[in-house]
């Protein structure tokens, strides 16, 4: 009798804990069909292996990536094999299939009591299916020490593909510098939420952070400090390539930004000839904006830009170079237009497309260029009239450097306080009258670092708002309801703790 009660209690407890509503996947997938029997699981054991299509090196690499993630906390020894004709039970299968409905990034994930199968038309989709599998496994899958728990996954069938092709995050490494290891850590977190673009703000008034071999003083002098006189730093070209490769392996394209003609004091301080008066200013460690400008009339300015873009284009895998173009308050309007027109040509001649902050739509840019909306709605409307694609980064919604509320110890508040709900609860296609999904390439969450000095600070400002931005970029609008999201986020926080992320908590995420 006692035995029976005990058994029924346990069963009940499991049923409640594992009922479909409480499984938290972020971003929420397009279609999730749970097995009606709530107690059916696939059990991961030391006999589980990963089988991939024969002769597909990339599938094998993704297989090894997930085997590594699983082996650490389970203590198992999953290996990757060619599947051939085998279809033994108890394994994880990664397969390329012909299914146009999945697009480049979509996937199907099927968990039965016998197997886990991830299928996609492209390896991008397999990678995203693997990220969803991480979230279906117990939170402890993110532990970096062995946990003795039952490693099981509820039986479920998922079909998932993204709303937008551009799901980005930006990190400002200019106001404060962050070394390669920090950027890689950020990339790992982006990958978990299916973010596929990392925009690096590499240059600003306070520091030049990328080695340019033909203009060495940019880093020798221009990288030597940061906001508040904090230590500077820069990426060598080899460091930068290491970041790009690390991101690329996680299906993330790196977009380098060289901000110009404003936000250029570090360059102007490093080379007097770039200044109209030929005099180099002092290095700058404050946080005001809008005071610096490259000398638009001088020919050497364009030689400089061509050298910088040329070196950067050589080592950048993605098709884009971001040219900034924001807050050029010390450049006359007609000069600004001539300047942006010319820089667009320079970038094109180096084989890349330009992206710029929304102000660039005031120049005669081609509709192959991309505008990043951050502040001025009329610029976004102008972009859509010119058929220029728009990346949505409204500062009032997803600027991750804005304080959550007046008591947030770091951050700025010029675009307002942005709590978790405000950062999540908006639709890119209705944010600006006259700008719809037809014109929207996607969403990007920038993190400016005037007040952000450490990885702990980055995590505090980015998490959990970045996770919400990832869902805005990936999930269909009709699937996104604040109440439901906040429940999923609350369930998700244990995973963030295990990942050792210093995330912000308030009444929305306790």
Task: Please report, as ranges, the residues that interact with ligand ACM according to CB under 6 A.
Answer: 326-327, 357, 374
User: In this complex, which beta carbon is closest to ligand ACM, that of residue 413 or of residue 482?
Assistant: 413
Q: d(Cα 348, Cα 342) in Å, to the nearest integer?
A: 10
CB of 358 to ligand ACM, least distance (A): 8
Task: Give the contacts of 210 (CB within 8 A, at least 6 positions apart).
Answer: 202, 203, 219, 234, 235, 237, 240, 256, 258, 312
Over its C-alpha atoms, the chain yields an Rg (Å, rounded) of 24
Question: Which residue has the CB atom at the shortest distance from ligand ACM?
Answer: 326
Task: Give the contacts of 510 (CB within 8 A, at least 6 positions apart).
Answer: 490
Sheet containing strand 156-160, strands side by side? 31-34, 156-160, 107-111, 116-120, 92-96, 50-52, 80-82
Q: What's the number of CA atoms in the CB half-sphere (13 Å) around residue 474?
A: 30
Indicate the pairing of strand 152-154 with strand 41-43. Answer: antiparallel
CB of 491 to ligand ACM, least distance (A): 33
Helix/strand/coil (H/E/C) assignment for every residue in 55-82: CCHHHHHHHHHHHHHHHHHHCCCCCEEE
150 Rama sector, left if φ>0, alpha if ψ -120 to 50, beta otherwise:
beta
CB of 26 to ligand ACM, least distance (A): 26
User: In this complex, which beta carbon is closest to ligand ACM, that of residue 357 or of residue 485?
Assistant: 357
User: In this complex, which beta carbon is closest to ligand ACM, that of residue 161 or of residue 357?
Assistant: 357
CB of 432 to ligand ACM, least distance (A): 16
User: In this complex, which beta carbon is closest to ligand ACM, that of residue 315 or of residue 412?
Assistant: 412
CB of 403 to ligand ACM, least distance (A): 15
| Among 105, 142, 211, 327, the one annotated catalytic | 327
Q: d(Cα 154, Cα 110) in Å, to the nearest integer?
A: 10
Q: d(Cα 416, Cα 412) in Å, to the nearest integer?
A: 8
CB of 327 to ligand ACM, least distance (A): 5
Tokens of 130: 């693997």
User: In this complex, which beta carbon is closest to ligand ACM, that of residue 119 or of residue 257?
Assistant: 257
Residue 229 CB-density burial (10 A; 0-12 exposed, 13-18 middle, 19+ buried): exposed
User: In this complex, which beta carbon is closest to ligand ACM, that of residue 127 or of residue 357?
Assistant: 357
CB of 490 to ligand ACM, least distance (A): 31
What dihedral angle (degrees, nearest 10) is formed by the CA atoms of 351, 356, 359, 361? Answer: 40
327 is catalytic: yes
User: In this complex, which beta carbon is closest to ligand ACM, that of residue 105 or of residue 327?
Assistant: 327
Residues annotated as catalytic (active site), given as ranges: 327
């Amino acid at each position: 009798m006692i035995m029976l009660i005990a058994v029924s209690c346990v069963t009940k407890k499991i049923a409640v804990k594992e009922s479909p509503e409480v499984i938290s996947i972020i971003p929420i997938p397009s279609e999730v069909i749970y097995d009606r029997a709530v107690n059916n699981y696939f059990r991961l054991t030391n006999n589980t292996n990963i089988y991939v299509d024969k002769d597909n090196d990339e599938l094998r690499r993704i297989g090894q990536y997930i085997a590594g993630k699983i082996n650490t906390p389970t203590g198992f020894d999953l290996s990757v094999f060619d599947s051939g004709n085998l279809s033994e039970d108890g394994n994880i299968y990664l397969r390329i299939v012909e299914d146009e409905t999945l697009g480049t990034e979509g996937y199907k994930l099927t968990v039965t009591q016998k197997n886990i199968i991830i299928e996609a038309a492209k390896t991008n989709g397999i990678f995203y299916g693997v990220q969803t599998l991480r979230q279906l496994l117990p939170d402890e899958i993110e532990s970096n020490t062995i946990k003795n728990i039952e490693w099981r996954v509820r039986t479920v069938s998922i079909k998932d593909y993204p709303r937008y092709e551009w799901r980005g995050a930006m990190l400002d490494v200019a106001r404060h510098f962050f070394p390669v290891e920090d950027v890689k850590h950020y990339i790992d977190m982006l990958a978990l939420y299916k973010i596929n673009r990392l925009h690096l703000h590499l240059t600003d008034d306070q520091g030049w952070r990328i080695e340019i071999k033909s203009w060495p003083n940019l880093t020798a002098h221009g990288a030597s400090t940061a906001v508040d006189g904090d230590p500077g730093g820069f990426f060598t070209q080899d460091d930068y390539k290491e970041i790009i490769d690390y991101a690329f392996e996680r299906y993330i394209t790196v977009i380098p930004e060289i901000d110009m003609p404003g936000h250029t004091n570090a360059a102007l301080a490093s080379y007097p000839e770039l200044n109209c008066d030929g005099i180099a200013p002092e290095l700058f460690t404050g946080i005001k904006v809008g005071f610096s400008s490259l000398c638009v009339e001088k020919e050497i300015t364009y030689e400089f830009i061509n050298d910088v873009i040329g070196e950067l284009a050589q080592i950048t895998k993605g098709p884009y170079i971001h040219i900034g173009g924001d807050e050029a308050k010390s450049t006359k309007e007609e000069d600004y237009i001539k300047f942006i027109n010319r820089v667009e040509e320079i970038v094109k001649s180096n084989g890349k497309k330009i992206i710029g902050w929304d102000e660039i739509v005031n120049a005669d840019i081609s509709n192959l260029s991309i505008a990043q909306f951050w502040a001025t709605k009329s610029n976004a409307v102008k972009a859509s009239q010119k058929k220029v694609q728009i990346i949505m980064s409204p500062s009032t919604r997803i600027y991750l450097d804005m304080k959550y509320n007046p008591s947030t110890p770091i951050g700025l508040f010029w675009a307002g306080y942005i709590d978790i709900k405000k950062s999540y609860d908006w639709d890119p296609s209705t944010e600006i009258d006259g700008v719809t999904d037809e014109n929207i390439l996607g969403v990007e969450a920038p993190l400016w670092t005037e007040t952000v000095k450490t990885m702990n600070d980055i995590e505090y400002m980015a998490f959990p708002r970045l996770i919400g931005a990832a869902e805005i970029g990936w999930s269909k609008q009709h699937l996104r309801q604040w109440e439901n999201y906040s429940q999923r986020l609350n369930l998700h926080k244990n995973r963030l703790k295990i990942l050792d992320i210093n995330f912000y908590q308030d009444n929305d995420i306790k």
